[in-house]
Amino acid sequence: MKPLPCPIDAAKPSDFVRRRLVRAIALAPAIHSITALGQTEPVPTAAQISSASITLAYSDQVIVDRLTGRKIGVRIRLPAQQKPTGLILYSPGLGSGLSNGAAWCASWQVAGYVVVNLAHPVTDEAIWNTERASFQENLKRALAPEQYTDRVKDCSAVLTHCLNDSVIKPYIDPNRIGIAGHSYGALTVQAITGQLLGGQNLRDARIRAAIAFSPGAASAERAHQMSKVNIPFFSVTGDHDQYVTFKDGKSSMRLGMALEKRLMIYEQLPVGHKQLLIMANADHMTFAGEPVDTDRYSRDVKTHPGEELSQWSRMSEISKVFWQYYLSASINLNDADQTMFKTQLTHYQGAGDVLKFG
């Protein structure tokens, strides 16, 4: 079995100031103080015009899946109030881990959700460690067929852990589970919500809604399998979301797929509760949701930090509207509520963005 094309992703923070702004955008417009557990970091306000002190807390841990033996890194973000709420898992792209998607994951936490970022073994930052193997060998291992399956199993194992952990469990309503992911993580989301993977059905029926940043399918046949997905599914891509070159010195590998193959995911999802956002002037790494090291990843758009932060802010708000609707305690799918949901999403649509409902 040949490995599936990976719509890659990952990012290594390289600019201290920009990292601080990322956290600010993630939290805007709310000014919040979270003291749930674990590490804390001071975060400035969105435009650095307020001197208010913001503290974002999270806990980094390692969970061992007893079935696979894999050691899965997790970043656990708990909301300010301990009461049953939605849980959102986040699966990162190739070469990244717990920091991936920080712009919106922190925002979801502030909005009142439990958010758990994963760092999948082999496909995380480990690809950049060339002490024992070359960069090309690391990539080959990370893109091996079994890694696609193992990543899905990681998500189910972490979900089970969260639902049984004495500290996390009181915060979670088990009927309000969502999952999101970027690139490799989007493929993970596709598989765990019902797309067959190597002939296997790895669907986790506990998941109620999903967001895939930079989804995709290698073929029309693979895309057609998305017709089996029966939960609300939001496909997010950009008008320049296609390929990325991974670089480590003189060694490199080009990964990804044409935009039309990303759009096939939305097209093949069943009609009812599917959404598509094509963000203007956005490439694959726009949806990393964290600063991108251009020495490691190629870019197909030229944006200044303020523009990309604005894109991340819009994405944070749009995704929160999705979660608030589909992970609500008592969802009503009547015409009036659907109209309101679409109106709220459209409110955050940027100039040149394409937003579709099906």
Domains of the chain, by residue range, sit at: 16-357
pLDDT digits (tens, 9 = 90+) for 138-186: 999 999 999 999 999 999 999 999 999 999 999 999 999 999 999 999 9
Q: Rg (Cα) of the chain, in Å, rounded?
A: 19
**What is the rounded CA–CA span in Å between residue 89 and residue 118?**
7
Nearest by Cα to 152 from 72, 248, 215: 72
| 39-43: strand order across its sheet | 39-43, 54-64, 71-77, 114-119, 85-91, 172-182, 209-213, 233-240, 274-283, 354-357
H/E stretch holding 223: helix 220-224
Average pLDDT, the chain: 86
Residue 148 is predicted with a pLDDT of 97
Exposed, middle or buried by CB within 10 Å (0-12, 13-18, 19+), for 212?
A: buried
Nearest by Cα to 215 from 177, 254, 196, 187: 187
**Predicted model pTM:** 0.86
**What is the rounded CA–CA span in Å between residue 255 and residue 240?**
14
- As a CATH number, domain 16-357 is 3.40.50.1820
pLDDT tier, 336 (very low <50, low <70, confident <90, very high otherwise): confident
**What is the rounded CA–CA span in Å between residue 223 and residue 227?**
8
Q: Please check whether residue 11 is in contact with residue 33, taking contact to mean a CB–CB distance below 8 angstroms.
A: no
